[in-house]
Amino acid sequence: MQDPIIRISNLVYRRGINIILDNVSMDIKRGSIVAIMGPSGVGKTTILRLISGQLYPNRGSVEVNGKLISGLSRQDLYECRKEIGVLLQNGALFTDLTVFENVATPLREHTDLSEDEIQERVIDKLNSVGLASTGDLMPHKLSGGMARRVALARAVIMNPKIVLFDEPMTGLDPIAMSSVGRLIRETNDQLGLTSVIVTHNVEQMKKLVDYCFILAFAKLIAEGSPQALMHSRDPAVDQFMNGRVEGPISFSLQNEALGANAR
């Protein structure tokens, strides 16, 4: 692929004696929306942390925008992270700050914009996620879908090039899921972002993404367009894409519990 915005090459990541990710390579195309899927505990959140430079690989490399993440000085990593917006699971808004202040926080922490400029940027972003007049509300007044919209506005307030989403749909009703999905697509295309979405939700993924990576057994077992993967003959891919309980991937309770703890 020409000039991918994120290039992961032969990445190995261990915790103690456990190999979490074993020789994983991924090229993520600039401007695309991609999904990273796989059973709980397989290492999806870990990949997001490796992309944002919170973790370093034991072997192999992660390059973002042509820069080797593990080779950056602390200052350069800080600069590089400004180009990466992150939307954590459940949105994770600050509960004691208004919607406006939640979205303004990254600007206050990382820029020296004037109060007027901050006002303008925050109002513009709230408008673009369809929440024009909610700036004064406290997060507990928001529906689940609205809270995710606020979290999205905050994730893009620094005008990043990349947004990482960790299970952005989890806990939403189907209507809110679809509307958040649409908003992710609009935001991605209007702002010229690249979006990387960790998700369990195969149905939403099929509607939303351009390309999908599937992890199982510490490896990347498949990649391709949702359409191509739906018709895969690989039993593990078929099991995952078509939601079958029986198959090579064991969705044991223990596995689920490990995944939940790790989040």
User: What are the residues binding ligand ADP (CB under 6 A)?
Assistant: 15, 20, 40-46, 258-259, 262-263
- Binders of Mg ion: how many residues, by CB under 5 A? 2
Task: Give the CA angle between residues 16, 28, 87 to the nearest 5°.
Answer: 70
Q: Which does 92 bind (CB under 5 to 8 A by kind): Mg ion, ligand ADP, none?
A: none
Would you say 161 or 263 has its CB closer to Mg ion? 263
Cβ 12 vs Cβ 22: under 8 Å:
yes
**Partner whose binding site includes residue 25, from ligand ADP, Mg ion, none (CB under 5 to 8 Å by kind):** none
The dihedral through the CA atoms of 96, 178, 195, 245 has a sign that is positive
Cα–Cα dist 263/261, whole Å: 5
**H-helix or E-strand spanning residue 108:** helix 99-110
Residue 45 lies near Mg ion (rule: CB under 5 A): yes
User: Which listed option, Mg ion, ligand ADP, none, makes contact with residue 236 (CB within 5 to 8 Å by class)?
Assistant: none
- Between 5 and 42, name the residue whose CB sits nearer to ligand ADP: 42
Pick what 104 binds: Mg ion, ligand ADP, none; C-beta below 5 to 8 Å, kind-dependent: none
Question: Does residue 6 contact residue 224 with C-beta atoms inside 8 Å?
Answer: no
Our CA angle for 173, 46, 42, nearest 5°, is 70
Q: Residue 165 or 211: which CB sits closer to Mg ion?
A: 165
Where on the chain is the footprint of Mg ion (CB under 5 A)? Answer: 45, 263
